[in-house]
Amino acid sequence: MKVKATDENIKLAGSIIKKGGLVAFPTETVYGLGADALNSYAVAKIFEVKNRPSFDPLIVHISKIEWLEKLVKKIDARAEKLIRKFWPGPLTLVLLKSNIVPDIVTAGLPTVAVRMPAHPVALALIENAQTPISAPSANPFGYISPTTAEHVEKQLGDKIDLILDGGKCPIGVESTVLSLIDEEPTVLRPGGLPIEEIEKVIGKVKLQRSTDKILSPGQLPKHYAPRTPIKIFSSPDEIKEGDDIGVLLFKKTNREIKAKHVEILSENGDLREAASNLFSALHELDSAGVRIIYAEAIPEVGLGVAIMDRLRKASGQR
């Protein structure tokens, strides 16, 4: 349902977010598809609705600095200067995440991307929801980013709880994503805030090319992958059991499997729940000190496509 972004409707939208629903809302860049960033099940719905064949880290939107302090480990002097100058606005900062940020929000990475949007409706929505909001652009995979509520309605109208219509987005291009993880600040995605403006505040900034595939020291990984080898199985008979193996199960099984560590993505085989647990389960298995992780193949429908994409990449299969 598309509604005008009145105070009353923003309040309603805030309560939908708080209850784990999805709301599309205007920002100064593009319309976002928002969910409570601290609720991994709600965040999994974002990927389901967007029909993405893979997981990507999401930007967390906040309305006040107090939230940044909770979401990240440390705010350094560079971040402070940039925030003073450019927030609210189209600058996203990548910093080391705190424990309250669910793994699905960062697609398993130890870093989180945060910004404070400069749109009164977005800010009011976050205030009403009383929680940070994760949001990618509100379009299905492969479609262009929406800059009006009508675009969102046409593309996703029947799949989300509410669309807040706040008119046309004034900037219309995505935010600039800047990583402050390394000594050298790095632009991961050019966007609404010009790099020159950033350089005026913190000095020289590196631009990461999308062609930079090889990870040299200091270069930031775009995706999390476990270090332990992964093997995908369809039947438990393919598992070479032992107390030095880890097993990632899609759902509960009656069969006894001898292993050092077992993780179940969803007792009842619910794909949304499985997606919301995927990255934390991989982290658990990766730190369990096992030689190999056997991962159960998942039905490739809905969110299962993105889950299998991640497992295949981690297993070195394409």
Tell me: does residue 112 bind ligand AMP (CB under 6 A).
Answer: yes
> Is 135 assigned a ligand-binding role in the annotation?
yes
Q: Which does 182 bind (CB under 5 to 8 A by kind): Mg ion, ligand AMP, none?
A: none
Tell me: does residue 137 bind Mg ion (CB under 5 A).
Answer: yes
Kindly state the number of chain residues that form the binding site for ligand AMP, as judged by CB under 6 A. 16
Q: Of the listed pieces 51-59, 252-260, 290-298, 308-316, which binds ligand AMP according to CB under 6 A?
A: 51-59
* Closer by beta carbon to ligand AMP, 112 or else 129: 112
CB of 103 to ligand AMP, least distance (A): 11
3-state secondary structure the chain: CEEECCHHHHHHHHHHHHCCCCEEECCCCCCEEEEECCCHHHHHHHHHHHCCCCCCCCEEECCCHHHHHHHECCCCHHHHHHHHHHCCCCEEEEEEECCCCCCCCCCCCCEEEEECCCCHHHHHHHHHHCCCEECCECCCCCCCCCCCHHHHHHHHCCCCCEEEECCCCCCCCCCEEEECCCCCCEEEECCCCCHHHHHHHHCCCEECCCCCCCCCCCCCCCCCCCCCCEEEECCHHHCCCCCCEEEEECCCCCCCCCCCEEEECCCCCCHHHHHHHHHHHHHHHHCCCCCEEEEECCCCCCHHHHHHHHHHHHHCCC
* Closer by beta carbon to ligand AMP, 129 or else 239: 129
Kindly state the number of chain residues that form the binding site for Mg ion, as judged by CB under 5 A. 1
Q: Which does 277 bind (CB under 5 to 8 A by kind): Mg ion, ligand AMP, none?
A: none
CB of 54 to ligand AMP, least distance (A): 11
CB of 98 to ligand AMP, least distance (A): 13
Binding mask 114-153 for ligand AMP (x = CB under 6 A): ----------------------xx----------------
Tell me: does residue 174 bind ligand AMP (CB under 6 A).
Answer: yes
- Site of interaction with Mg ion (CB under 5 A): 137
- Site of interaction with ligand AMP (CB under 6 A): 56-59, 94, 106, 109, 111-113, 136-137, 174, 177, 188-189
